[in-house]
Amino acid sequence: MRVLRNIGLLATCRADGGQAEIHPLREAALAWEDGQIEWIGPEAQLPARYRDARSFDAAGRLVAPGLVDCHTHLAFAGWRADEFEQRIRGRSYLEIARSGGGILSTVHATRDASEEQLFERCRHFLDDILPLGVTTIECKSGYGLSREQELKLLRVYRALSEAGPARIVPTLLAAHVVPPEYRNDREGYVELVVREIIPQAAAEGLARCCDAFLEESAFTYGEAERILEAGREAGLLPKLHADQLSDGGGARLAATLRAVSADHLEHISDEGIQAIADKGVVAVSLPIATLVTNQHPLPARRLIERGVAVAVATDFNPGTAPSYHLPFALSLACSLQRMTPAEALKGATIHAARAVGLEDQVGSLEPGKVADFAVIDAPSVEQWLYHIRANACVATVIGGQVVAGELATAF
């Protein structure tokens, strides 16, 4: 039994009540055992059975659920800082992709890297990520684009998951882009994904979700539909990169498939908004990509007004979103997407958990959920996300264990 006392503000982030409702408790305490939350409430009401439990002191700080980064491309080799400069000088994402840069340059580098090399690189990233208060990270494949190479990436994620302590949610994104060797045989690649890659990934338990990139430069509506339906038949939750560079009907497809999430959505139509609102699809906003690619942001206010749950994630990848700093993405969501700090926090907790189908286990601080939380050196969510600092998180806890920073013992 463990108790965290003297919590100035506990943002429980329960699902009910809409995007802005984080269900805060003041002068609170949080008790857990065996990695699971047993009790939360005002410290004055802490039940007698916890009075002698080992106690930690939050020193009046903010405590939030461990953050969930529900959209990353964590395993890749190389970087693309050169393209960052090219985009500043005015070249578009599609121009860069057409000239052999973009995703394909990362595919070449990633194929050349061994599973061990990629594992070490991801471990290094996670060493930077966990201290930010992030505890669950969705990780997509998609830089392999062959059976062997896509499974290699998913095995990196399995190894990371087994090594702990981060909670890794693996997603198969074989449908990231058509690989060069299938340039003149798109149908052949879709067949490979549907008949070989998806079944094997599912059979080996290597993926939880199946994703596809529906875009002019990637896969058509029909191809994405076929792939995600095959994924669903194999037991993988559908997700979709949708309406990023143009309105390709992605939101409608996500709604039709009852996907757990539709991601990007910078160009979502009004019909698309209504479709995902009707079907309860989470809209995953990716404000770092918006900033870096100089796009207009997704219409967060219209989505929220129609009752869509909006998540916020980093989209960490070497091209369009070269940062895994999720609190920084939340601050950007406030300024670029006009989300309030509370709305942004809900977007990186319970709504992000829904976007990976784990809302029963993570994403909020409630009895029965895992004891994943972050202690933040700020008196409020507003102060945290407004006063952008290198890192305001002073302790990250996963399954009841401190995995970064430290918790002071209470006397």
**Would you say 134 or 174 has its CB closer to its own copies?**
134
Angle in degrees, CA 46, 50, 51, rounded to 5:
85
The residue (of 102 and 322) whose beta carbon lies closer to its own copies is 322
Of 94, 109, 159, 388, which one interacts with its own copies (CB under 8 A)? 388
Binding part of the chain for its own copies, among 160-168, 278-286, 318-326, 398-406 by CB under 8 A, reads: 318-326
User: CB-based contacts of 85: which residues, under 8 Å, 6+ apart?
Assistant: none
Residue 238 or 341 having the CB closest to its own copies: 341
By beta-carbon proximity to its own copies, the closer residue of 325 and 369 is 325
Task: Catalogue the long-range contacts made by 212-215 (C-beta closer than 8 Å, 24 or more residues apart).
Answer: 212/173, 212/175, 212/240, 212/241, 213/142, 213/173, 213/175, 213/176, 213/177, 213/241, 214/240, 214/241, 214/242, 214/248, 214/249, 214/250, 214/253, 215/241, 215/244, 215/245, 215/246, 215/248
Q: Which is nearer to its own copies, 139 or 356 (CB)?
A: 139
Q: Is 82 in the site for its own copies (CB under 8 A)?
A: yes
Question: Among residues 170, 322, 347, 363, which is the contact residue for its own copies, using CB under 8 A?
Answer: 322
* CB-CB contact of 310 with 347 (8 Å): yes
Q: Contact region for its own copies (CB under 8 A) — 23-31, 128-136, 152-160, 227-235?
A: 128-136
Contact stretch for its own copies (CB under 8 A) within 44-52, 209-217, 323-331, 398-406: 323-331
326 binds its own copies (CB under 8 A): no
Query: Quick one: which of 169, 192, 255, 339 contacts its own copies (CB under 8 A)?
Result: 339
323 contributes a contact to its own copies by CB under 8 A: yes
- What residues contact residue 171 under an 8 Å CB cut-off, 6+ apart? 138, 139, 140, 141, 207, 208, 209, 210, 211, 239, 356
Q: Which CB sits closer to its own copies, 7 or 393? A: 393
Distance of alpha carbon 188 from alpha carbon 177, whole angstroms: 13
Closest contact distance (angstroms) between CB of 359 and its own copies is: 26
Residues 228 and 261: beta-carbon distance below 8 Å: no
CB-CB contact of 174 with 200 (8 Å)? no
Size of the site for its own copies (CB under 8 A): 36
Looking at residues 253 to 312 of the shown chain, list those that interact with its own copies (rule: CB under 8 A). 288, 291-292, 294
Q: Is the separation of the CB atoms in 234 and 257 below 8 Å? A: no
248: its two tokens:
């390709």
Identify the residue among 26, 195, 205, 386 touching its own copies (CB under 8 A): 386
Give the residue with the Cβ less far from its own copies, 77 or 339.
339
Give the contacts of 269 (CB within 8 A, at least 6 positions apart).
243, 247, 251
Contacts with its own copies, residue ranges (CB under 8 A): 79, 81-82, 84-85, 88-90, 128, 131-132, 288, 291-292, 294, 322-323, 325, 328, 332, 334-336, 338-341, 380, 382-383, 386-391
